[in-house]
Amino acid sequence: MRRTRTELVLALALGALLVYLIVVPVSTIVWGSLGTTPTGIPGPRTLAHYRTALSAPTFVGSIRTTIAFAGGVTVVATLLGGYLAWVTERTDAPGRRLVYLLVLVPIVVPGILTTIAWILVLHERIGIANGLLAAIGASRPRFDAYTLPAMVWVEGFDSLTLPFLLIAAALRTMDPAVEEASVLSGASTSRTAFRITLPLVLPAVSAAALLVFVRAIGSFAVPAAMGLPGGVRVLATEVFLAARRFPSDSNLAAAYAVLHLALAAVVLALHQRITRHGDRFVTIGARVAHNGRIALRRTRTVHAASALAILGVAVVLPLVVIVVSSLLPRPMPPTELDPSLFTLRRYAWALESVVARRALVNNVVVGGLASVVTVVIAAIVAWVSTRSRLRWRRLLDILATAPIALPGTVLGLALLWWYLIVPLPIYATRWLVGIAFVTAFLPYAVRAAAALLGQLSPALEEASAMSGAGWSRTFARIVLPLVAPGLIAAWLYVVARTFTSLALPALLAGPGGEMLPSVVYDLYESARYSELNALGVLMIGGMLAIAGLARLSAILADRWSGLVHDPSTSGERGATPTGIARQERTAE
């Protein structure tokens, strides 16, 4: 009886907190979209703003553009990620470790930096690609960064990590004998891949595709940096612009945001439907004694080369552009590139700039704290939803996972409204960004924590209870220490997200509250490419250090878990994913 009461109190407190973090902002924006008066002032409700929004050609156009953009990104990212997953998990192509390492890099590189690097490559006038074309005699530029195809290209390459991890996980649990049976039926490698392997992982592939779609709908860095200058507007940028015009037509902005959210929510709901039946085709191999990789023979090097080429374009090229550009006094065509011009002056600027330093402090303090809060809430949500005997315990889990469908711009706008009404002195401060971080990244932390607890035998807690310990003692002395290394990895993943997120600080932070990605965006808007890339190199260096820490804690978590977990559940073939990979995979 006592335990149930503790659980109830805990669950109610958590429920209230989640409602405040997630339901309240969403309700605020829905309520605002129906209003006729400025925020917080009572007045009659109306659907007029939706009518206005849906009859405005630019807005309807942006819905179409959003779907085209997200659709294109989904195709590019799922094809590339799926192909890379197949090469690394199902074939004997060399270089799998390198693929695994490179494919994770986009997690720690802020999207706004990658985007700007691609702009420097594809820009119509100053772009490297057109520069090279001109050098070989092209009469006119062929590439233009500020177009929809360029946006799809950049976001697609930057998004391949998620489908890679999800499809690789599905391929890893597949019984290799189903492919071998096909090969021994006389089928070639490609026939086996398309007729057997692909259909079997199709549920995982569609689930991955829909998640990429949801994320692309909410994506902000590429639409802002590439779409806005070229007049290619998607819902995320429409909401952003409407919010910046704030408060002149705030109710209309809210209607934009609700429609944006609705689109993402519909796709997420579709994803949930698919994943509910998604296990239908997974055939788990019993006692797999052999690694069961398909021997590619003559095409081994071809596949290895094309996998590394994809990652070279997706990951290495932007990084090289960022580094080289940070050393140059100004953007210059590759033909004029001269190492004697290289200078470290921009680094000196980046290290001494007051704005950059302030942003770094904000990122460290706000991001670090918000990540701690996120992971603590996530751990308790995961515990209640996996361990308690409350009938509606799953509701907390669902609620905490829902913000996946919440685009950053929509969340930002919603929080702006709410804290305008609520008399708390955090409006337009960095702390508002912190609250937004908690809401936005809670889903990933909850999934990670739930996965950790799922591996932990309940008997360990029951043994503690039988030893006379109460709930709090058991949680503090048994559960937390056992999942701590995994939670630290989850925390570092969330920290990485707070350092790479652009939409939330761009919308929410007032002067003095900037974060590093928003500083980069401001530098971009004033075309200070060398400065922003120097700052970017320093950021990426820091992020890689965080990734190293995450890897370390994941190794510790594995070593630790070997002592208490059922070894049969941790059977893993092939390359070992890093801690961050694990977080990303479990997070989705």
Does 41 contact other proteins by CB under 8 A? no
* Contacts of residue 89, Cβ cutoff 8 Å, sequence gap at least 6: 168, 171, 172, 574
By CB under 8 A, name the one of 31, 67, 134, 175 that touches other proteins: 175
Q: Which one of the spans 69-77, 282-290, 348-356, 567-575 is the region binding other proteins (CB under 8 A)?
A: 282-290
Strand, helix or coil at 294?
strand
Angle (deg, nearest 10), helices 430-455 and 579-587: 90
Does 199 contact other proteins by CB under 8 A? yes
Nearer to other proteins, 82 or 127 (CB): 82
Of 488-527, binders to other proteins (CB under 8 A) are none
Angle (deg, nearest 10), helices 96-108 and 529-564: 120
Nearer to other proteins, 283 or 301 (CB): 283
Query: How far is 577 from 218, CA to CA, in rounded Å?
Result: 27
Nearer to other proteins, 53 or 296 (CB): 296
Q: What is the DSSP string of 169-215?
A: HHHHTB-HHHHHHHHHTT--HHHHIIIIIHHHHHHHHHHHHHHHHHH
Q: Which one of the spans 2-10, 182-190, 229-237, 396-404 is the region binding other proteins (CB under 8 A)?
A: 182-190
Give the gyration radius of the chain's Cα atoms.
25
For the bound state, the minimum distance from the C-beta of residue 307 to other proteins, rounded and expressed in Å, comes to 21
Nearer to other proteins, 107 or 205 (CB): 205
Query: How far is 457 from 570, CA to CA, in rounded Å?
Result: 13
Task: Give CA 277 to chain center in angstroms.
Answer: 24
Of 208-247, binders to other proteins (CB under 8 A) are none
For the bound state, the minimum distance from the C-beta of residue 285 to other proteins, rounded and expressed in Å, comes to 6
By CB under 8 A, name the one of 283, 299, 301, 467 that touches other proteins: 283
Does 177 contact other proteins by CB under 8 A? yes
Does 567 contact other proteins by CB under 8 A? no
Nearer to other proteins, 201 or 433 (CB): 201
579, 554 in Cβ contact below 8 A? yes
Angle (deg, nearest 10), helices 161-172 and 579-587: 90
Query: How far is 385 from 340, CA to CA, in rounded Å?
Result: 60
Of 208, 171, 209, the C-alpha closest to 192 is: 171
CA 513 to each of CA 142, 411, 434, 450, 475: distance values in angstroms, whole numbers, following the listed order: 40, 17, 10, 33, 36
Nearer to other proteins, 287 or 389 (CB): 287
For the bound state, the minimum distance from the C-beta of residue 555 to other proteins, rounded and expressed in Å, comes to 14
Nearer to other proteins, 287 or 391 (CB): 287
Does 541 contact other proteins by CB under 8 A? no
Strand, helix or coil at 575?
coil
Nearer to other proteins, 295 or 354 (CB): 295
Assign 3-state DSSP to the chain and report helix, strand, coil percentages, each to 5.
80, 0, 20
- The gap between the terminal CA atoms of the chain, to the nearest Å, is 35
> Which residue stretches of 312-407 are H helix?
317-327, 345-352, 354-362, 368-387, 393-401
Nearer to other proteins, 60 or 181 (CB): 181
Q: Which one of the spans 12-20, 207-215, 259-267, 283-291 is the region binding other proteins (CB under 8 A)?
A: 283-291
For the bound state, the minimum distance from the C-beta of residue 364 to other proteins, rounded and expressed in Å, comes to 38
Does 27 contact other proteins by CB under 8 A? no
Please list the residues that pair with 284 across neighbouring strands: 174
By CB under 8 A, name the one of 27, 188, 457, 570 that touches other proteins: 188
Q: Which one of the spans 120-128, 183-191, 248-256, 429-437 is the region binding other proteins (CB under 8 A)?
A: 183-191
By CB under 8 A, name the one of 183, 305, 426, 556 that touches other proteins: 183
For the bound state, the minimum distance from the C-beta of residue 179 to other proteins, rounded and expressed in Å, comes to 8
By CB under 8 A, name the one of 2, 140, 280, 391 that touches other proteins: 280
Of 285-344, binders to other proteins (CB under 8 A) are 285-287, 289-290, 295, 297
For the bound state, the minimum distance from the C-beta of residue 188 to other proteins, rounded and expressed in Å, comes to 6
* Contacts of residue 237, Cβ cutoff 8 Å, sequence gap at least 6: 62, 220, 223, 224, 227, 228, 409
For the bound state, the minimum distance from the C-beta of residue 297 to other proteins, rounded and expressed in Å, comes to 6
Does 94 contact other proteins by CB under 8 A? no
Of 527, 529, 499, 534, the C-alpha closest to 514 is: 499
Does 178 contact other proteins by CB under 8 A? yes
By CB under 8 A, name the one of 196, 350, 432, 492 that touches other proteins: 196
Of 436-475, binders to other proteins (CB under 8 A) are none
By CB under 8 A, name the one of 31, 50, 246, 281 that touches other proteins: 281
Report phi then psi at 284, rounded to 5. Answer: -80, 125
Nearer to other proteins, 38 or 94 (CB): 94
Does 182 contact other proteins by CB under 8 A? yes
Quick one: residue 464, left, alpha or beta (phi over 0 = left, psi -120 to 50 = alpha)? alpha
For the bound state, the minimum distance from the C-beta of residue 575 to other proteins, rounded and expressed in Å, comes to 13
Burial pattern 215-232, b for ≥16 Cβ within 10 A else e, equals bbbbbbbbbbbbbbeeeb
Q: Which one of the spans 241-249, 284-292, 443-451, 477-485 is the region binding other proteins (CB under 8 A)?
A: 284-292
Residue ranges that bind other proteins, judged by CB under 8 A: 175, 177-178, 180-188, 191, 195-196, 199-200, 202, 280-281, 283, 285-287, 289-290, 295, 297
